[in-house]
Amino acid sequence: MGRVLTLEESRRRQGTSLDAISDLVAPGMQRVNELILARAGSDVALIPEVATHLISSGGKRIRPMLTIAAADMCGYRGEGHVRLAASVEFMHTATLLHDDVVDESEMRRGKSAARVLWGNSASVLVGDFLLGQAFRMMVEVGSLEALDILSRAAAIIAEGEVMQLTAAKNLATTEDEYLAVIRAKTASLFSAAVEVGPVIAGASKAERAAFRSYGVNLGLAFQLIDDALDYGGNPDRLGKDLGGDLREGKITLPLLLAYRRGPDADRAFWERAVEGRGDREEDFAHALHLMRAQRAIEDTVERARHFGAVARDALAPLHDSAHKTALLEVIDFCIARST
């Protein structure tokens, strides 16, 4: 308020940061963060230890911010959105704990993954605990519609993760099949996070549909950029090494595009690389080289821009407001992460 912005700040304020939404939801998010810490608590000391390791590791909390912003935008006046936002973040955290076990990841958000520090068992079980706590908070809110949306998302996320497991190392995966995976494993939670706000605010069906569509498409864009960053990002900003997806034989769009567009002569390389049979550093370097030749990373970002544009149009029918502007900036932020 009235303060002079630094150059850095004013650059960030031009629609490529989360500042606008962060400012708007700050009061709600403070209560969300308190609730998250309280509900990650347990007399069983290992639970808060494992849970807060991940919870306090500087995640952006985009999903709960979306819940709070969408509820505020629809004029919601109660406290239910705080509980739903915390539930959404717990569902996300539980997924990360389980994902790291499934992917045998070493790092998460610039720190050792929980499974490295406390073992796979603790990661599985603390994930289960957080999922249980998420459902308890949703039940406390008492909206069966919100419960329906979030419980459906929980099943779909797991379905998406299994799809990804099934598709692992399968270079015959089509772009559509890949989109079905990320629609389930990532976009469904974004969509649910955004929709439950309007739901408890008693918004109209049309408004709910607008938010839902914004959420799905934002989630798709977010995941595509994440996949691009795994090949072309800045490791310090990402908090993890590049090339994790290739190392794990995970088929993402940059790889699919490079593989499909490339000459037959490269197929043997890709097969060896996703099977992890070659030298991993050399393979990653060569994969990047082939991706550049095929513009695979740029075009993954282009695909993300497409879904970002759909997300933007989804909100078009809603009346203009600071909240709407902030939600639109979230799209730009998600895509700008890649540049």
Which residues contact its own copies (rule: CB under 8 A)?
A: 42, 44-47, 98, 101-102, 120-122, 124-126, 128-129, 131-133, 135-136, 138-140, 142, 144, 147-148, 151-159, 161-163, 165-166
Residue type, 208: R
Q: For its own copies, give the closer residue by CB, 125 or 209.
A: 125
Q: For its own copies, give the closer residue by CB, 10 or 121.
A: 121
Question: In the bound complex, what is the minimum distance in angstroms from residue 219's beta carbon to its own copies?
Answer: 17
SS3 content of the chain, % helix, strand, coil (to 5): 75, 0, 25
Q: How many CB atoms lie within 10 A of CB 319?
A: 7
Q: For its own copies, give the closer residue by CB, 184 or 311.
A: 184
Question: In the bound complex, what is the minimum distance in angstroms from residue 170's beta carbon to its own copies?
Answer: 13
335 near 298, Cβ under 8 Å? no
Helix or strand holding residue 179 (H, E)? helix 175-182
Q: For its own copies, give the closer residue by CB, 20 or 91.
A: 91
Question: In the bound complex, what is the minimum distance in angstroms from residue 120's beta carbon to its own copies?
Answer: 7
Phi, psi of 112 (to 5 degrees): -60, 140
Q: For its own copies, give the closer residue by CB, 124 or 171.
A: 124
Question: In the bound complex, what is the minimum distance in angstroms from residue 245's beta carbon to its own copies?
Answer: 15
- Residue written as token pair 């796979």: 120
- Residue written as token pair 């045998």: 104
Question: In the bound complex, what is the minimum distance in angstroms from residue 222's beta carbon to its own copies?
Answer: 21
Burial of 1 (0-12, 13-18, 19+ CB in 10 A): exposed
